Structure 1
Amino acid sequence: MDVFMPKVQAVAMFKEIALNIKNPNEVVREGISNCYDADAKNIWITIRRNLNGDVEIIIRDDGNGMNIDEIHSFFNLGDSKKMVENIGEKGLGTKTFFKSKRIIISTKCNNENGYIVEMENPWEHLLNGIVPTYTVENGDMQENGTEITISGYIIDNPEKYFNYYSLKDYILWFTAGGNFKNIFANNLMLQSRVKDMNKSPKIHIYDQILNRQCQMTGVHQFAAPSENPKEDPNNRKYKRSVNYCRAFGPFNVETTLNGEYVSLQLYGTVSGVNCRRKVCKLRQSETYKARFGIYLCKDFIPFERANFLLGDEQYYHYHILVNSQNFELTADRNSISNMESATVKWIFNQVEDIFKNNIKPIAEKEYFRMRKEEEESYDAECRVVAMNNYVKKIDLVDNLYINDIPIKKIPQCEYEVALLFAAMLANEKTKKLVEDIKNIISYSSRATTDVICTNYNEEIVLVEIEYKLSNIFKHKHPIGTYDYVVCWKIDLEQNVINQVNNVNTVLVSEGDEKYIVTQKNKKMKVMELSALLNKIYRS
């Protein structure tokens, strides 16, 4: 029996890892994670252009630095010294740096001699089917720590991602520099499972291209609670709810499944848009629906949204983070690899239960009720404004100047034509103008034909109401669904073919009367109310 060992194509693996990222800022995420692992108290991130015009990302810390073995682990595949339960245990993250023109590392560890490491054209080498090499030489750094420079990261419009605003937001939302473990720092069990639960290094951002800089504490940003918010003078509809914020948690749930310790930690808020706006900087074309909701986390660092756990179409009003060290992540750290496990299913069930019983009822009672009341109030205000505007507008409409019917203005729409038609039938003097119609039985704007009437023989006749006669064809009323057309004015030329539902019709005159006549000689009488009234009152 022959025994064979599978081969690994190192070049293909390096390329795949370097390409397998959703957001170029993940390069910074990996750098910050390494700084945290090195027990850094400060992390400096600098963005600048070198003399060749390439964007450089410089990540420096005052942590423990790297010895020679750790330097080799930095460049090797699958060679990590991290705890198995923590992010980065696969040792793949730093390989995303390879999609660049140059990587330079300056590091010093435990007061030993420092090292300067350089890898030239790593991406070019990989594209040519060559595993890139790196050089190591002694350095003369004075203090412990590490500085990594990534030059010419291969991406279109690098300044779109590597700028002050984008980096600050990304760091606080999706990196170890924006974790929320401070909320659970006193949990003894978590202290043994998550590194440095009580530490939050300061992060300094220097954007030399935009000439912007800041210093921030490396914790996730939640909006401050505000359950009795002030009004926003700039928002006409949601005056108070835009400034509302209610916090939920911290929730910690734990159990044992098949001998394994399982736990989850949940904390979050429901809040108005002004509060959400304060804790994030949306990317171009990004919406609050695309940013907010519920996030899954490991090491208290968000990696994936899971809005299906909320089962709520208004998920984007929530800002909820769920952490579990029992989540196992894919190589790119952007999704769960043990999704179908009993452990993850138990965690999801607990999250759904917490949301259903401890979060949503309060959010509905307070925040969403406030929004609904504001919507109703705003709708009422809009109706009042619309009516006042309509009253002003109607004053400009010409008068009918007919004293025999209680209608002052000429019609402006189909409904007003129907009202005028009914008023004319109710008055003895104007009723004789409508020779063929005696009574109205019913009127409906939703039925196939507007009005059901009777003639003087007590027979049912169907009447279609239009403001202009041409609307009978524009609205595509089928021939056969009306016997008469009542309109305010006729705007069609006579003896010109008009087609509706593949039936040709023409408008013709017979004495003083007008008819729509089909190609099969079916006739529908047209009553032009403006002409009928003018016939008597303005002759």
Structure 2
Amino acid sequence: MRSGIKPRVNEAREFLEIAKDFKDPREIIREALSNSWDAGASKTSIRFDLAPIPGTQRKKIMVEIIDDGLGMNDEQRAAIGSSEIEGFFNLGDSAKPHGSIGSKGHGTKIFYKSLGINLETWKNGAKFTAVSDQPPWETLQKGVVPTYSLDDTKDNSGKGTRIRVDGFQAKQKDFSSLSELVDYIRWYTVAGSFGNYFNSPRRMDVQLKSLDISAPITVEYGFKFPVEQIDLTKGTASVCKLFGPTVVDCGITEEGKPIRVEIVGALLGDSQRDIVPHTYTQMGLWLCKDYIRVERDNEILEDVFGGQYYYRSVLLFANCQQFDLTANRNNIRTDQEEYDLAIKGIKDFSKQLWESGFVKGYFEANKVEREKQGEDERKQGEQERKTRATETRKQRINKYNGRAKLKSYGLVGQLTKEPQNEAETALLLQAMISSKHPGIDFVIGDYNTSYGVDLIVEKSDKGILTLKWVELVYLLSKLYEWEHPPEGYHAIVCYELGDVKQLQPFSDGQNSKLVPMETPGRYALLVGRDTIDVYVLREILENKP
């Protein structure tokens, strides 16, 4: 039996998969700032610019990162087996303590999603320049690990590190909003750390230039809660009740490792939540490591508080250095004894918070305010509805008073104003029938606008009662807007002709001819072989009997 067989690792595929784990292109900011922080930088600059792609009309994204940290050199690290510069390009090489953020050596691999990497760094009187030999992303996708070239010269003039990433694989919109990038830095990177609440003395401000501005702005280091305001008589919207900072001892693992969680947070009223970019997606409980928010877990607060509504007023950061992160740093592994102990400690703290008199008083006061606000809004809505109704009636009366008077003779119960639609035309027709106006020689038997022709009328023809199909329109010209000419009609009743020519085609191209008859207000509409009687009520009424 053979022994000592070593499994092979497909290096290019591992590089590719690690780089693919970074789903959000903005994670290049998080990784760059973490590296600068680890290098002891007090200032870091990140610029996003566009450059033309030769031979095309397209542009590529250029990223430049500069810090004033300790820099890197090419001296071998005995414990790691590689230099700092090699660790930047290698996969899995990190000098950070096991379990800390960045200890997996994956972060800088996001730089491989590009056309090229140019690294300049100064340390111990020397300048080191490392440049990728091939386009990293394209080369990895071919199954080959890209190489780089390294050069060093004596140089005491520089300090820190400069990284240029050529043609970073992302969409321009990912880096085109300054406000969104600032929110990302403050919320998801070391520059938004809340370590200041636990006596962390360091700070690192960030100079940021997004694609939508020409000059960089400064993003100040550290997360800050609003000034505490706990006077409920001023309204719950202005409340800021701070919790902590405090350290919770969560127990000891089977291996004897003590687990501690550092917690700080606040109960925030509506007007105090400007520190949170998106209330519905970012309020609640955050599990953190190295004082950086990693993953939101509101199921804990829902379980303790008894519903989703309550956590939207609470912002809690629970930092545990024993949390183990996934490769892309976006989640916390849950298959640890350390995780279980930490979560239990966080739940116990949350229960104490929920049972405090001030928290209960806040939510009771908030409930009263919301009920009053709802009642006020209901009353205001009702008043607005009444005002709109009054205004609508006033406008309708004014419009009615401005309409032309109907010229007619001998009608009983007639309209006093000229019709303006089909319904009013129908009312006028019935008034003329009821008044036995000589211009109308039929009576209405059935009126239905939902099925085909509007009217069935009864008409005496040489003493014989016959039924006729009659269409009712306000303007005869409306017929010519139909998809087909009138079919099967005996007559058409309208108030006015409208813009109708003597010879006029329908929309399907079939021609019609309108012929006036001897009786005023009566016409014959000739459509193909059909002759349709037309009654024009206005002309009939204007002819004095």
TM, length-normalised to structure 1 = 0.64
Alignment of 1:120-519 (within 5 A): 120-139=134-153, 140=155, 142-155=157-170, 157-161=171-175, 163-185=177-199, 197-207=200-210, 209-228=212-231, 240-254=235-249, 255-258=251-254, 259-276=256-273, 278-281=274-277, 287-311=278-302, 312-314=307-309, 315-337=311-333, 339-359=334-354, 361-362=356-357, 364-386=359-381, 388=383
**CA apart distance, 1:243:** 3.1
Query: SS of the residue aligned with 2:147?
Result: coil
CA distance in 1 between partners of 2:144 and 2:231 (Å): 63
**CA apart distance, 1:385:** 3.5
2:2 is matched with: 2
User: Between Structure 1 and Structure 2, whose CA radius of gyration is higher?
Assistant: 2
**CA apart distance, 1:219:** 1.0
1:117 is matched with: 130
Query: SS of the residue aligned with 2:196?
Result: helix
**CA apart distance, 1:341:** 2.5
CA distance in 1 between partners of 2:449 and 2:51 (Å): 76
CA distance in 2 between partners of 1:375 and 1:62 (Å): 51
Distance of aligned partners of 1:390 and 1:160 in 2 relative to their CA distance in 1, 3 Å threshold:
closer
Q: 1:224-253 deviations in whole A, cap 9, x for unaligned?
A: 32334898xxxxxxxx43333221111201
2:16 is matched with: 15
Contact 1:44–1:61 (Cα < 8 Å) also in 2: yes
**CA apart distance, 1:362:** 4.8
Distance of aligned partners of 1:382 and 1:330 in 2 relative to their CA distance in 1, 3 Å threshold:
closer
CA distance in 2 between partners of 1:347 and 1:178 (Å): 23
**CA apart distance, 1:344:** 1.3
Distance of aligned partners of 1:391 and 1:154 in 2 relative to their CA distance in 1, 3 Å threshold:
closer
Mark the runs of 5 or more structure 2 residues left unpaired by the alignment: 54-58, 75-82, 394-445, 451-545
Quick one: percent identity of the two aligned structures?
30
Q: 1:267-299 deviations in whole A, cap 9, x for unaligned?
A: 1112133322x2244xxxxx5212222111111
CA distance in 2 between partners of 1:202 and 1:80 (Å): 24
Q: Which runs of 4+ in 1 moved over 6 A?
A: 390-398, 493-497
CA distance in 1 between partners of 2:383 and 2:105 (Å): 69
CA distance in 1 between partners of 2:178 and 2:63 (Å): 12
Distance of aligned partners of 1:125 and 1:226 in 2 relative to their CA distance in 1, 3 Å threshold:
same
Mark the runs of 5 or more structure 1 residues left unpaired by the alignment: 186-196, 232-239, 282-286, 399-492, 498-539
Contact 1:47–1:209 (Cα < 8 Å) also in 2: no
TM, length-normalised to structure 2 = 0.64
Query: SS of the residue aligned with 1:310?
Result: helix
- Matched letter for residue 2 of structure 1: R
Distance of aligned partners of 1:267 and 1:494 in 2 relative to their CA distance in 1, 3 Å threshold:
same
2:525 is matched with: none
Contact 2:120–2:127 (Cα < 8 Å) also in 1: yes
CA distance in 1 between partners of 2:12 and 2:387 (Å): 76
CA distance in 1 between partners of 2:43 and 2:143 (Å): 38
- Matched letter for residue 280 of structure 2: K
CA distance in 2 between partners of 1:280 and 1:274 (Å): 11
2:407 is matched with: none
Contact 1:87–1:299 (Cα < 8 Å) also in 2: yes
CA distance in 1 between partners of 2:142 and 2:10 (Å): 14
